[in-house]
């Protein structure tokens, strides 16, 4: 299985809509609209192109030639400007195959090369053990657990804070 990351282009808008409407949302931020529209995709793709390489790294996850997910590292602001946050989602048919572990490793290497950062943070809801493993397999260290820090769909979760230093 070949896992590649490539930059998003405006031509990917329908694939982005498909991903965002079809990945499970249990552990995703509410800031991603649902249903996800072509207008949402156009806005996000514009942002990704504008910030690419300066304030973030935004990539399509391509598995054996098929667009399968989204992954990004976005710089934080103010006193946190040397830190960036990792975020990702993957179509369920590609879960438990090592794809996200490979994609996360690739994007962290790219982010440390092109962004002016010294660390990458990963935030994971407690029950999302698979995502925690992705970070751990990529050398992220569990730095703390924020108790009852997330409310998603009326569920209250602990938030696991992971960090990876350059």
What average pLDDT values come out for the chain (166 residues) when binned by 10 residues? 96 96 94 96 96 97 96 98 97 96 98 98 98 98 98 97 98
d(CA 4, CA 64): 8
State the pLDDT at residue 119. 98
pTM exceeds cut of 0.85: yes
What residue ranges do the domains of the chain occupy? 3-118
State the pLDDT at residue 96. 96
State the pLDDT at residue 20. 96
Correct CATH for 3-118 of 3.65.10.10, 3.20.20.140, 3.40.630.30, 3.40.50.1970: 3.40.630.30
């Amino acid at each position: 299985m070949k896992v590649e990351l490539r930059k998003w282009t405006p031509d990917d808008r329908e694939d982005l809509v498909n991903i965002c409407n079809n990945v499970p949302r249990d552990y995703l931020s509410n800031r991603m609209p649902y249903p996800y529209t072509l207008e949402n995709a156009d806005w996000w793709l514009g942002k990704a192109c504008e910030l690419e390489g300066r304030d973030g790294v935004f990539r399509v996850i391509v598995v054996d030639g098929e667009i399968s997910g989204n992954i990004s590292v976005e710089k934080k602001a103010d006193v946190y400007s040397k830190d960036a946050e990792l975020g990702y989602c993957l179509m369920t048919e590609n879960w438990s195959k090592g794809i996200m572990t490979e994609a996360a490793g690739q994007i962290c290497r790219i982010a440390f090369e092109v962004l002016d950062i010294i660390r990458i943070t990963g935030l994971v809801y407690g029950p999302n053990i698979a995502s925690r493993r992705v970070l751990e397999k990529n050398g992220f260290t569990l730095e703390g657990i924020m108790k009852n820090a997330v409310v998603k769909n009326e569920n209250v979760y602990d938030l696991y804070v992971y960090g990876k230093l350059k």
